[in-house]
Amino acid sequence: MSFWDESFFNYFVPDLNEEPPVVYSYGTIDLNAEPNADVGFYSQASYGFVYDDCKQSYTEEGYEEKPGASNVNWETKEEFITEEALVGWVKSRAVDNAYIVVKRRTKKSKTTGSVIKVWLMCDRGGEHNSIAILRRSGSKKIGCPFQLVGLYNEVRESWKLQVINDNHNHEPAQNLEGHPYVRRFTQDEEDLIENLTERHMDPRNILSSIKKHNPANVSIPRDVYNLQHKLKNKKKFGDTPMQVLENVLHSQRYVYYTREDPETNVVEDIFFCHPKSYCWWRAFPHVLMMDATYRTNQYRLPFIQIVGMTSTHQTFSIAHAFISKERVTPPNSHSWCQSTWV
């Protein structure tokens, strides 16, 4: 008996050229049909396929978003002393239920000029009218009807909340990190970020410290970067970049030298060194390297970096210099940096 004989096996070997006895059913698509153009936000163009195995037919004719109940009772008899207290109470309660409520508009008194009425709405309320020309812009606004109104009672000198519509046409947010309002820092957190930034702490560690003090914080590293950029712009308001640099060098006790144009008295080159870097160089003076990068910074200026090396072959920065141009006539920029450093 040969190994390839049919009787060698304990089961029947089917003929692969024959049609299978069982008719398998798959989802069939008519490629000649026109695709459905009326689709929803979460849908793609469909050809209307049918599941034969499930004995169910499903034709995708467009996605209709179901209204989502907020499950929050906004009716309250509580009176608030200030507008900020009322708005803060509403926003905090909305966030606890994974919704975001923002101010829509306010109305001021004609006599006193103070706010007497405030409209609050869901951040997904309203309609977005795109004015983009080059590319199509998107929006998270889907016309959510949720709306509350805060009214000021001049007799009682307090605020009351009035419910206009407490229903949403969308589900609660799964992740609040996508909402800029929720990611805002409090004033105490902004002060902490400013203090830690001055101590040269890494933004990632700053965010970890904030989340350690406030586990409910949902900010992301980009929020820390944006706030640091805002604080830097606030400090240098009204000053030129050169004035800001000299103020920093002077306040941080840097050793720095400048070279001016003899005719215009304009600073063309500046060389600076941190005191700690100078101490490192005094400890490891055997290797000194100069590296020049050309217009890789935002000011498009040639930048020279002087680097040293420790006994364990680790590099460290010694000094830096911004130069306005490469001088052909002596002393050129590199010679000036070397003579200044030595």
Tens digit of pLDDT for each residue in 191-247? 999 999 888 888 889 999 998 888 878 788 888 999 988 888 777 766 777 888 888
Please provide the average confidence, as pLDDT, over all residues in the chain.
76
Q: In this predicted structure, what is the pLDDT of residue 53?
A: 40
State mean pLDDT over 27-51. Answer: 47
Query: Which has the minimum average pLDDT: 29-38, 47-56, 172-181?
Result: 47-56
Q: In this predicted structure, what is the pLDDT of residue 47?
A: 41
Long-range pairs for 180-185 at CB < 8 Å and ≥24 separation?
Answer: 181/91, 181/100, 181/102, 181/123, 182/95, 182/100, 182/218, 183/218, 183/219, 183/220, 183/223, 184/219, 184/223, 185/210, 185/219, 185/223, 185/227
Domain range list for the chain: 1-64, 83-128+137-178, 187-235, 242-341
To 10 degrees, the CA torsion angle through 8, 13, 15, 21? 160
CA distance 172 to 97: 7
Three-class secondary structure of residue 334 per DSSP: helix
Starting at the edge strand found earlier in the chain, the sheet holding 315-323 runs 255-260, 267-273, 315-323, 303-309, 288-293
Q: In this predicted structure, what is the pLDDT of residue 124?
A: 83
- pLDDT value at 172 more than 50: yes
| Comparison of pLDDT for 125 and 42, the residue scoring more | 125
- pLDDT value at 273 more than 90: yes
| Comparison of pLDDT for 175 and 167, the residue scoring more | 167
Q: In this predicted structure, what is the pLDDT of residue 28?
A: 52
- pLDDT value at 283 more than 90: yes
- pLDDT value at 32 more than 70: no
Q: In this predicted structure, what is the pLDDT of residue 48?
A: 43
- pLDDT value at 304 more than 60: yes
Tell how strand 158-165 and strand 50-51 pair up: unpaired
pLDDT bucket at 160, cuts 50 / 70 / 90: very high
- pLDDT value at 23 more than 70: no
115: tokens are 């706010």
| Comparison of pLDDT for 249 and 39, the residue scoring more | 249
State mean pLDDT over 100-128. Answer: 87
Q: In this predicted structure, what is the pLDDT of residue 40?
A: 43
Q: In this predicted structure, what is the pLDDT of residue 103?
A: 87
Q: In this predicted structure, what is the pLDDT of residue 262?
A: 82
Q: In this predicted structure, what is the pLDDT of residue 20?
A: 58
Measuring CA to CA, how many Å separate 245 from each of 214, 267, 296, 307? 35, 12, 18, 21
Q: In this predicted structure, what is the pLDDT of residue 19?
A: 62
Residues 60-109: pLDDT tens digits?
344 344 455 556 788 888 889 999 999 988 988 888 888 888 888 899 98
Q: In this predicted structure, what is the pLDDT of residue 3?
A: 46
- pLDDT value at 299 more than 80: no
Of the ranges 52-56, 126-130, 281-285, the best mean pLDDT one: 281-285
